[in-house]
Amino acid sequence: MPKDTSIKSVLIIGSGPIIIGQACEFDYSGSQAARSLREEGIEVTLINSNPATIMTDPVTADNVYLKPLEKKYIIEILEKHKIDAVLPTMGGQTALNLAIDCEKAGIWKKYGVRMIGVDIKAIETTEDREAFRLKMLELGINVCKGETATSFLEGKEIAQEIGFPLVIRPSFTLGGYGGGFVNTPEEFDAALTRGLHASPTHEVLVEQSIMGWKEYELELLRDNVGNVIIICSIENFDPMGVHTGDSITVAPAMTLPDTVYQKMRDLAIKMMNGIGQFAGGCNVQFSVNPADDKIIAIEINPRVSRSSALASKATGYPIAKIASKLAIGYNLDELKNAITKTTSAYFEPALDYVIVKIPRWNFDKFPGADRKLGLQMKSVGEVMGIGRTFQEALQKACQSLEIKRNGIGADGKEKTNYDELIYSLKNPSWNRLFSIKDAMRIGIPTSTIQNLTKIDPWFLAQIEELDVMEKEIEKYNLATIPAELLREAKVKGYADRQIAHLLRCKESEVHSVRTELGIKRVYKMVDTCAAEFEASTPYYYSTFDGENESIVSDRKKVVVLGSGPNRIGQGIEFDYSCVHGVLAAKECGYETIMINCNPETVSTDFDIADKLYFEPVFWEHIYDIILHEKPEGVIVQLGGQTALKLAEKLERYGIKIMGTSYKALDLAEDRGSFSALLRDLDIPYPPFAVIETAEEALELSKELRFPLLVRPSYVLGGQNMKIVINEKELEAHVIDLLKDHPGNKVLLDHFLDNAIEAEADAICDGEDVHICGIMEHIEPAGIHSGDSYAVLPPFDLSENVLNQIEEYTKRIAVALQTVGVINIQFAIKNEVVYIIEANPRASRTFPFIAKAYREPYINYATKIMLGAKKVKDFTFNPYKHGYAIKVPVFSYNKFPEVNKELGPEMKSTGEAIYFIDDLQDDYFTQVYSERNLYLSK
């Protein structure tokens, strides 16, 4: 069937603020869907309360509603626009739930809106564990033994029947919230109660445990006539027992024979067809018993998911884009493969490389949190490494994580304590992968590791090969190492830094020796078809192999550094900025080159930048791309602290940084010189000191006076920041910090008790400054700006204070010779404005202001960075109406053990925007009245 021409206007529902289990992958799918529909001449209306998204940008949709995802706002939209159809499959569980609510309330029917891309009955079958189980039994598909309990007593009875170990899975919860394994009858009662409470319907599935079995996922697409294709097979490195969102995953499946894979494929198709007829994407999870290849169906998600985003990036097949076209009536055979542009969209991608996804956790932000991985997802982001082989992809994924490692192993951070390693192998957490390698290094037999982890022996053998090679390399030094061995290390994904560590020399020395030996990175294309057909899509990854496919053009180029994995303090906001940076640079005539390794993002979509290098935002990879492409310069202001941190090295290697100079970036980050600058500019700042020992700290605390804000220099998201009120606390925290950051300096600031906090975002060309917006925090100083409610414009600052803020912002921006963006944070006490810090980069709040004022600030700032425009070239016409509130959103329900108090260390995972007309608004008054509720001392 060709396109359904009766659909002229579509509503897409977004996924709201980022929370654990629902991250920026839905910005990726939502924006791809919007672009795909607009290509067809369809008017797209979008609702999402998350301002930091590309999907809510005027570049993506015709009508954008930055409103809470609630029924009343859907009605508001339907009253205003003639909407023909709603597409609820691009915004995760949140969008689906809202669509179901509206369906139940008869809203869609009332306004004559069709629901496309999904089948309500299918959702109900898949979300309700018992309905799913019965459906599978009806289809003749094996599932775990289990039954649903709606009461405590029922649960006990079922458990008695099935026996232990078993699993408790609450119905209708996100990311496995409230679920868990129960190994003994003693643990059962508490777990059952927790599960029942977690479920909004007071329902849990009590199920046979298949812990340790192999785990797989398939990503499917189906059209209206029932054609189904499998886009990608994904194998979990971590066997059953760890939530897939928390599992290291590999594509294509590595250890599946064709017989088992095809059986799984048949089952997946049968399941998708069995749950309902709809055109769109679907994700199916299976478990395979390693003893006899028996397959059990785990779950099916009839929508675009986190795994579909990964599968899209892993294969190059744009799942959300095609799923949207299917939803409006196209059949798969009527569409073209977006990568080759000549072959059919109806096919199954063939990979000639391997991808490894590793989740990124942030347990350090949640003191007291249970760090053990299980059924409930706990990671906040993820990275993907692409390599020609599993080993290379694994190393590259580890290099992408930004956890101060240079890859897996060979960086001097290996653990050597036997008991500690055995514990880590038995109790999966963020570090199990590293522990496996370390365990091999100290001689723990692979068979023991296999017994403890149940990880497939093939994966373990791959890691063991790395260990064997490392031990071989260590026998040499840089002068004596055979070229073949050096090449082998590079082929296996080792960073120059890792090799340098093994050979006891410098990274740069390894780089020059290997370059002399001709051991150079080449770039291969992700083309969906293993080179069978010609493809022109500029999506590349690096490897050490023969032929290079990334041909360098003679256009002027600029590199935009991405922000790497999402984590608390650095999330989707920076991807928003990167995407806008790329688009603005394109407008200025540049060939744009994007480097990033986060598969959930829009910036890593192959049709955003002119060239996408899906590579770790890790020095060696960036440097090699720069050597290959020879860009005019690099933009570091948009990709958060990840990109900014690389400025120093770029400067050292003589690579041009576009916009604000390295010297100014460094000056702003260096507290000592920055304060000197403030003193010269006659701008107040809280008394502070830089110390290197606890003794110094105690000494200086007398001058500075308590309370004191204690933190390491160079941090984002308030990492390890703490307010201390006496000498004992000060000493303890300083010692802690120096232990974690040896050789680093610690900053002590006098903390302005009960001050009001405010911040300003501005763009500057070195001479003129435009202040985009000033935000006032509702909570008093002491809570990290990312965790505060912020109001734009300020709601109760005096004119005198506002004048000081404006004046200081301008003075600082010009003094730092800012060319691009700057964010400045203030504390206000007794009508005096103090500077807390200045961030010479895109901030978390830039997208928020851009959305509220409807001005493309990052676009302007990028043009200024590139020298194409000056501030005075733009006419600013911000849309000012009422107030916009930035609402922080937390994922505490994933960490029930964690204290909810807020402090200088950021804990929120996402944010929403909420507009109010005036200060009498109920929402505002409530938030305002509770402003001290979660404040830590």
Partner 1 sequence: MKKHTSTEAILLLEDGTVFRGKSLGEIGITGGELCFNTGMTGYQEIFTDPSYYGQIVITTVSHVGNYGVQHKEVESEQVQIKGLICKEFSQHFSRNTAEGSLQGYFEAAGIVGICEVDTRALVRHIRDKGAMNAVISSETTDLEELRKKLAEVPSMVGLELSSQVSTAITYELKPDEVKFRVAVLDLGIKKNIINNLVSRGCEVKIFPYNTPYEVMEEWNPDGYFVSNGPGDPAASTDAVRSVQQMLEKNKPMFGICLGHQVLAEANGIATYKMHNGHRGLNHPVKNLITGRCEVTSQNHGFVVDGDQLLNHPQVEVTHINLNDNTIEGIRMKGKPAFSVQYHPESSPGPHDSGYLFDDFITLLEQNK
Which residues of this protein are in contact with partner 1, per CB under 8 A? 225-227, 229-230, 233, 252-259, 261-262, 265-266, 290-293, 332-333, 342-344, 346-354, 388-390, 446, 456-458, 461-462, 464-465, 468-469, 472, 524, 529-534, 545-547, 549
Q: How far apart, in whole angstroms, are the C-alpha atoms of residue 533 and residue 101?
A: 46
Tokens 């043009």, located at residue: 863
Decide whether 528 or 637 has the Cβ nearer to partner 1. Answer: 528
In angstroms, the CA 86 to CA 280 distance is 13
Q: Measured from the CB of residue 497, what is the shortest distance to partner 1 in angstroms?
A: 24
- Cβ-based nearer residue to partner 1, 525 or 790: 525
Q: Provide, rounded to whole angstroms, the least separation between the CB of residue 536 and partner 1.
A: 13
Residue nearer to partner 1 on the CB measure, 528 or 675: 528
Burial status of residue 761 (CB atoms within 10 A of its CB: 0-12, 13-18, 19 or more): buried
922 CB neighbour count, 10 Å cutoff: 8
Closest CA to 596 of 609, 580, 584: 609
Tokens of 559: 């590199």
Nearer to partner 1, 267 or 775 (CB): 267
Cα–Cα separations (whole angstroms), residue 247 to 237, 243, 361, 882: 7, 6, 11, 45
Judged by beta carbon, residue 165 or residue 457, the one nearer partner 1 is 457
- Counting other chains too, the contacts that 543-548 makes at CB distance below 8 Å and 24 or more residues apart are 543/353, 543/387, 543/388, 543/392, 543/491, 544/388, 544/392, 544/487, 544/490, 544/491, 544/519, 544/520, 545/388, 545/491, 546/522, 547/522, 548/522, 548/523
Quote the CA–CA distance of 16 and 12 in Å, as a whole number: 12
* The token pair that represents 684 in the structure block: 């107040």
Nearest to 540 by CA among 604, 444, 627, 620: 604
Dihedral, CA of residue 266, residue 269, residue 275 and residue 276, to nearest 10 = -140
Per DSSP, which regions of 38-192 are E strands? Answer: 43-47, 63-65, 85-87, 114-115, 146-149, 166-170, 180-182
User: What would you report as the CA-atom Rg of the chain, rounded to the nearest whole angstrom?
Assistant: 27
Strands of 478-590, DSSP E:
522-525, 539-543, 557-561
Q: Which amino acid is at 421?
A: L
Distance CA 102, CA 77 (A): 13
Q: In the complex with partner 1, which residue's Cβ is closer, 332 or 821?
A: 332
Distance in Å, CB of 546 to partner 1, minimum: 3
Comparison of 464 and 651: residue with beta carbon closer to partner 1: 464
8 Å CB contact between 190 and 180: no
Q: Which is nearer to partner 1, 531 or 933 (CB)?
A: 531
CA angle 691, 693, 696 (to 5 degrees): 65
Least separation in angstroms between CB 291 and partner 1: 6
Q: Least separation, in Å, of the C-beta of 231 and partner 1?
A: 11
Question: Please, what is the minimum distance in Å from the beta carbon of residue 729 to partner 1?
Answer: 50
Nearest distance in Å: CB 591, partner 1:
23
For partner 1, the closer of residues 344 and 744 by Cβ is: 344
State the nearest-atom distance from the C-beta of 822 to partner 1, in Å.
Answer: 45
Beta-bridge partner residues of 765: 819
Min separation Cβ 344 and partner 1, Å: 4
Report, in Å, the least distance between residue 461 CB and partner 1: 4
Please name the residues in contact with 340: beta carbons below 8 A apart, sequence gap of 6 or more: 527, 528, 529, 533, 534, 535, 537
Helix ranges restricted to H, 550-603: 572-587
Nearest CA-CA partner of 936 in 723, 762, 773? 723
Is the CB of 456 or the CB of 669 nearer to partner 1?
Answer: 456
Measured distance CA(783)–CA(466) in Å, rounded: 45
- Nearest approach, Cβ of 551 to partner 1 (angstroms)? 13
**Residue with structure tokens 């391997």?**
354
Nearer to partner 1, 168 or 220 (CB): 220
**In angstroms, what is the minimal distance from the CB of 268 to partner 1?**
11
Supply the minimum distance, in Å, between the C-beta of residue 248 and partner 1.
17
Instruction: Give the Cα separation of 841 and 856 in Å (integer).
Output: 16
Query: Which C-beta is closer to partner 1: that of 249 or that of 788?
Result: 249
Residue among 391 and 785 whose Cβ is closer to partner 1: 391
Shortest Cβ 306–partner 1 spacing (Å) = 22
User: Residue type at 422?
Assistant: I
Q: Which is nearer to partner 1, 348 or 753 (CB)?
A: 348
